[in-house]
Structure 1
Amino acid sequence: MVTTRIEKVTKQLQHHSDPYSLNFLTSEESWELLEKKVFRGEICPPDLLEAGLQVSLHCKGLPLVVVLIAGIIAKREREASLWLEVANDLSSLALGEQSMKVIQSSYDHLEDHLKPCLLYMALFPEDHKIPVDHLLKLWMAEEFVLNAGTENMEKACRVCMTDLLNRSLIMVSGMRFYRDVEYCSLHDVVREFCLRKLTEDKYMQLAVPFNPYQHLHSTESRLCIYIHDDLVKQLDHSNYQLDKIPMLDFKETNSLEFIAHPKLNTWNNQYSNPFNLLVKLRFVRALDLMDVELPDSWATAIQSLTELRYLALCVKQFELKWISHLHNLQTLQLKSSDEKLRLRAATLSEMTNLRHVKIDCFFMVLENNEQESSSTTMLENMKSFGTCDICLDNMNARPWWMFPNLEELSLNIKDVPEFPLFPIAEVHSHLHFLTLEFPLIQLFELVGWERYCVFPSNLRHLDLATCFLTEEMVLNIARLKKLESLQLSMGFASMRYCWDVTNVEFAALKYLGLFFMQIEEWKASEESFPVLEKLVISGWPGFKDIKEIPPSFADILTLRRIELFDCTDSLGVSALNIKRAIEENTGCDSLQVFIQK
């Protein structure tokens, strides 16, 4: 038997059977192991039980930590108060010589570009579930990730994330059916190790930069200092003269690059306005002020931050021209609830490095005239474009036409389509994720709007909100032969609350989510969902709810899980009947049914 922390090793050794991946221990398993190691087969005394459970819970399922902590408390007096001290100071106790060697060994064997990726994660708060999509954009902004070309930058970041997962250095904190890992986190012991590595360098980190014209092992490394409260205070007291700050022991201060980390950097009341700091730190690459209420002068203060790659703002007023000079910007996130945003296509085309745009809570008006349309640059780097409220008409621009390599698109359309949203299928051959919200009330009053909703043929994931499921609309969805996941929410079936897909086949669909749908009766054949693996239904108390899952679901050989939330009792009964039928037909307990009221 061979054990390893690196998944690639197991694949090279694989012979007669697949590698067995060890999961983290459950709370019960952690306590069982701790009790066995501390009491050597005896039962834990009742007065120590609660404290012992707290200790095992703080180990967070890592067997190595359970064993190390068991060795520590076994040598202490058997008092609940002393055991609780151990639980509260677990990181420092667990990070002893043995565990230090284990983590240090894993860290030393990381490729150079993976080390800063791991250390960066340690700067999020303890036990923080880090959104993977958010983290990858930050990695790109800091140029931690090496990649062959800008077109594959997101893919390169995903590979780095997979490498860290496969080496058991980071944990999966949340999965989504159609996008792999949604959240990740660091075990407390790994995080403590990373923070110590950063502390050894006085909050500084040497990292090889991304540069297509520079050799990987160039000596011209970049020096990064993570902004934290102590540094902010020292900067303020020294009038932002970097050479007067004791912790910054280097000669060439002009080469310094700062990271304004979104979760680490919390300005208190005395330092509530970050602009005095920003105007001095002109090399900042990632700036997230989504949780900071910015004064109206933000646009002036941000003028000097020309190296920004990642910018997230919560503002009352915004015009794209205020940041159009940020030619290195890759990610732009905006949030507001007060003003109308006018997005000019010509201004947007100046920012050729933009890859991800997300605009929430604006009512967006897209402007584009014929003269601008002819001169507008195609933004070939744009990968995702999302907005809240958008108004379209025949005289208005559809900016996603400017993004030929777009992979994700999210739109909240405030009027009924009067023209095809995707008239030329070849333009968006890379589009895999599409989210659309329609004005439901208006759809009831018009006929023929469905013909404008013919989707790009390579879609893999479709999310439709407040949609009227007419027969033509359902057929438009079924034509997507690569569609793996479909989520429908807040919509209606067209035939008196009956959704009949008996003669419709969703050939590649693996996930189906129905959320707050006004459907009373659902009809389907065994050919309707031939490869479905997961069904999720969330009810809407007081409204029309699905009463039964079609019995034909018992004939779907691939079905593995049904989840029901706030649904009718009859729907739960039908799910359990399907589970029972599968067991009788196959002799296997292959279907999981989860019901929550």
Structure 2
Amino acid sequence: MPSEIENLVHLRYFALTTIGSVCNSQLFKLKSLQTLILSAWTKEYQLQLPCDVLDLPWLRHVRFDKGSSSFYLPDLVQKNLQTLSWFKVTGRDSRTTNFTKVPNLKELGIYIEGEVLPNNALDSLAELHQLEKLKVKTGRVERFNLPICFPSNLKQLTLSNTYLSWEDMDIIGKLPNLDLLKLKDFAFCGPEWTPKDGEFLQLRFFLIEHSDLECWNANANHFPVLERLILRYCLDLENLPNNFEEVYTLRLIELDNCCSSLVTSAMEIQQAQRGLGYEGLVVRDVTKIELPTNESSKERSEYAI
């Protein structure tokens, strides 16, 4: 990185993609910086970041690669920081997950790697009362535990490669404002899931991608306002839950690389709704076709997979 950049003391936005080193860069000189985006040119290369990179006083939005993410939270409380993705958590030191140092985060991406995490490693997430979007992805982790509770204001949650039990879903289902949930790459494992009554009351968008789920024991009461259901590579799931034709808010069921009986089950729900006078549901099997491009830009940005 050109050393002259460090002298641009009025710089507010800085984005850099490189295979060079930024570890020794004196980014702390950029006192006016509000947005920082650092990424490696190739996935094989991992940037080494300065340990004080999050201490800049006016930072609002920070984005790193998962492999190059920072695992040092600010030394002092940073009230301006709103976006942090990705932040690396390891099992070496639970003190690095004291999220009270960034109390006003609205969007957070956590990449977990390394040894077994303490049971309370992510419990301070509950102190992020402004947090609306959370992504959690694990790498080489022997065991991952959900925090005891999430911020009540959380609206969007994505879990990837976490290998949780479906029984842990009760913690997520109780979130009062959750309207988008994405479960990717065996976020939850096990052949059977039975949701509980009174959960997912605000969920509008639900994605399950790469799952060994076989039996989904749910009904319309468990997802009363669901609008979009996306199932990808759910090869063992043969039928959608009973009475899903009574989820009258459903607008889209999208299936990708799922068994034919699941497609048939979705078509039966569509026909049942039409018989009741509800014409809005679209069933889309995209296993061999491309998605249409006529969806609004607002929908594409809000529900980007």
Q: TM-score, normalised by structure 1?
A: 0.44
Q: Given the superposition, is the C-alpha separation of residues 320 and 537 from structure 1 closer, same or farther in structure 2, using an over 3 Å criterion?
A: farther
Whole-Å Cα distance in 2 between the matches of residues 493 and 394 of structure 1? 26
Whole-Å Cα distance in 1 between the matches of residues 62 and 29 of structure 2? 16
Q: Given the superposition, is the C-alpha separation of residues 365 and 441 from structure 1 closer, same or farther in structure 2, using an over 3 Å criterion?
A: closer
Q: Could you say what secondary structure the match of 1:401 adopts?
A: helix
Counterpart in the other structure of 2:206 = 512
Structure number with higher strand proportion: 2
Whole-Å Cα distance in 2 between the matches of residues 465 and 320 of structure 1? 32
1:431 Cα deviation after fit: 0.1
RCO greater where, 1 or 2, for CA within 8 Å and sep 6 or more? 2
1:304 Cα deviation after fit: 2.6
1:526 Cα deviation after fit: 2.1
> What amino acid is aligned across from residue 403 of structure 1 in structure 2?
V
Q: Given the superposition, is the C-alpha separation of residues 393 and 503 from structure 1 closer, same or farther in structure 2, using an over 3 Å criterion?
A: farther
Q: Given the superposition, is the C-alpha separation of residues 400 and 559 from structure 1 closer, same or farther in structure 2, using an over 3 Å criterion?
A: same
Residue of 175, 193, 197 corresponding to 1:499: 193
Whether the 8 Å CA contact 2:97–2:124 is kept in 1: the answer is no
Counterpart in the other structure of 1:71 = none
Q: Given the superposition, is the C-alpha separation of residues 451 and 333 from structure 1 closer, same or farther in structure 2, using an over 3 Å criterion?
A: closer
Counterpart in the other structure of 1:383 = 82
1:440 Cα deviation after fit: 7.5
Q: Could you say what secondary structure the match of 1:431 adopts?
A: coil
Counterpart in the other structure of 1:169 = none
1:414 Cα deviation after fit: 0.9
1:575 Cα deviation after fit: 0.4
Whether the 8 Å CA contact 1:537–1:564 is kept in 2: the answer is yes
Q: Given the superposition, is the C-alpha separation of residues 513 and 354 from structure 1 closer, same or farther in structure 2, using an over 3 Å criterion?
A: same
1:367 Cα deviation after fit: 4.5
Residue of 36, 44, 48 corresponding to 1:341: 48
Q: In the alignment, is residue 302 of structure 1 matched against residue 10 of structure 2? A: no
Residue of 547, 558, 581 corresponding to 2:249: 558
Structure 2: 5+ residue stretches without partners? 288-305
Whether the 8 Å CA contact 1:492–1:519 is kept in 2: the answer is no
Counterpart in the other structure of 1:430 = 130
Q: Could you say what secondary structure the match of 1:573 adopts?
A: helix
Q: In the alignment, is residue 536 of structure 1 matched against residue 216 of structure 2? A: no
Structure number with higher helix proportion: 1
Whole-Å Cα distance in 2 between the matches of residues 559 and 590 of structure 1? 8
Q: 1:405-425 deviations in whole A, cap 9, x for unaligned?
A: 100000111144314344346
Residue of 476, 492, 498 corresponding to 2:171: 476
Residue of 132, 153, 169 corresponding to 1:458: 153
Q: In the alignment, is residue 406 of structure 1 matched against residue 101 of structure 2? A: no
Q: In the alignment, is residue 352 of structure 1 matched against residue 51 of structure 2? A: no
> What amino acid is aligned across from residue 231 of structure 2 in structure 1?
I
Whether the 8 Å CA contact 2:113–2:139 is kept in 1: the answer is yes
Q: Given the superposition, is the C-alpha separation of residues 361 and 513 from structure 1 closer, same or farther in structure 2, using an over 3 Å criterion?
A: closer
Count of aligned positions = 282
User: C-alpha root-mean-square deviation of aligned residues, in Å?
Assistant: 2.6
Identity of aligned residues (%): 27
Whole-Å Cα distance in 1 between the matches of residues 136 and 21 of structure 2? 26
Alignment of 1:48-87 (within 5 A): none
Q: 1:281-335 deviations in whole A, cap 9, x for unaligned?
A: xxxxxxxxxxxxxxxxx24131232221111112331227521110111111111
Whole-Å Cα distance in 2 between the matches of residues 492 and 498 of structure 1? 14
> What amino acid is aligned across from residue 200 of structure 2 in structure 1?
F
Whether the 8 Å CA contact 1:562–1:592 is kept in 2: the answer is yes
Residue of 31, 39, 48 corresponding to 1:327: 31
Whether the 8 Å CA contact 2:70–2:87 is kept in 1: the answer is no
Whole-Å Cα distance in 2 between the matches of residues 399 and 392 of structure 1? 13
Whole-Å Cα distance in 1 between the matches of residues 79 and 260 of structure 2? 51
Whole-Å Cα distance in 1 between the matches of residues 264 and 240 of structure 2? 9
Whole-Å Cα distance in 1 between the matches of residues 243 and 210 of structure 2? 22
Whether the 8 Å CA contact 1:317–1:339 is kept in 2: the answer is no
> What amino acid is aligned across from residue 579 of structure 1 in structure 2?
Q
> What amino acid is aligned across from residue 165 of structure 2 in structure 1?
T
1:592 Cα deviation after fit: 1.3
Q: After TM superposition, which residue ranges in structure 1, 4 or more long, deviate above 6 angstroms?
A: none
Counterpart in the other structure of 1:73 = none
1:557 Cα deviation after fit: 2.1
Alignment of 1:56-455 (within 5 A): 298-315=1-18, 316-319=20-23, 322-336=26-40, 337-339=44-46, 341-345=48-52, 348-349=54-55, 351-364=56-69, 366-367=71-72, 376-387=75-86, 389-398=88-97, 400-415=99-114, 416-424=116-124, 427-439=127-139, 442-443=142-143, 449-450=144-145, 452=147, 454-455=149-150
Whole-Å Cα distance in 1 between the matches of residues 78 and 187 of structure 2? 37
> What amino acid is aligned across from residue 251 of structure 2 in structure 1?
R
Q: TM-score, normalised by structure 2?
A: 0.82
Whether the 8 Å CA contact 2:89–2:97 is kept in 1: the answer is no
Whether the 8 Å CA contact 1:492–1:518 is kept in 2: the answer is no
Whether the 8 Å CA contact 2:159–2:187 is kept in 1: the answer is no
Whole-Å Cα distance in 1 between the matches of residues 49 and 110 of structure 2? 16
1:553 Cα deviation after fit: 1.1
Q: Given the superposition, is the C-alpha separation of residues 590 and 451 from structure 1 closer, same or farther in structure 2, using an over 3 Å criterion?
A: closer
Whether the 8 Å CA contact 1:407–1:433 is kept in 2: the answer is yes
